[in-house]
Amino acid sequence: MEKKLFEISANGHSYGLYEGKDKLDAMLAQTVDAGYRDFEGAADVFHQSVDEYLTDLKAEEIVIKNFRVNDWEGEKLAVYFTVEQDDENTDTLEWITDDGDLEEADSHIDCIDNFSEYLRGFVRGELKKFIEIEGERKKITELLAWLEENKVDEDEDEDENEDA
C-alpha cells in the first residue's frame, strides 16, 4: 500500500509531516517520534484514555499537485501548483529567477497563513525537485530565453504610451 503524507498537529501547533498508510498510521509515527512506544504510552503520560489522546491530535493529508511552469503576464516565470490539505485546495505560485532557480526572497508560500513552517519547507523542497527534472529544466531555460527575447524595453513602452 502506498504511503501518504500527513501534517500532525494538536491545539494549533504543528508537530511536522509524517508518512502513513492512513491518518491513524501517521499519528502513530508522530507519537513514536515524540518518544512514546505507542498511543497507550502517550495517553498514560498525559493521564488520558487513548480516545482522549487521539481526539487532541489532528492529521491533515497533504498532496501537492498540478505542477506547471509558465510565464506570468509575459514578465516573469513561475511554477504554479496546488496544495491540498484534506479537502481544502490552495492554488498559488512561486517565482523562478533569471537563473532558473526558485526565488527565495519573494515567496508566496510565506504569505499563506495556514501553512506551517514544516509544510512551507516541504513545498519548497518539492518545487526545487520539480524544476530540476530534466524536461522541466529545459522548458524553464526555453521560457526564460523567450521572455528575454520578447521583453519590452520600459523606455520604449513609455514612448509608445506617450505617442498614443
The span from the CA of 131 to the CA of 107, in Å, is: 16
Contacts for 98-105: CB closer than 8 Å, 24+ residues apart: 98/144, 100/131, 100/137, 100/140, 100/141, 100/144, 101/128, 101/131, 102/127, 102/128, 102/131
- Whether residue 77 contacts residue 144, with contact meaning beta carbons closer than 8 Å, is answered with yes
Give the global pTM: 0.81
pLDDT digits (tens, 9 = 90+) for 56-114: 999 999 999 999 999 888 888 999 999 999 989 999 999 999 888 999 889 999 999 88
User: What is the DSSP-derived secondary structure letter of residue 128?
Assistant: H
pLDDT digits (tens, 9 = 90+) for 15-41: 999 999 999 999 999 999 999 999 999
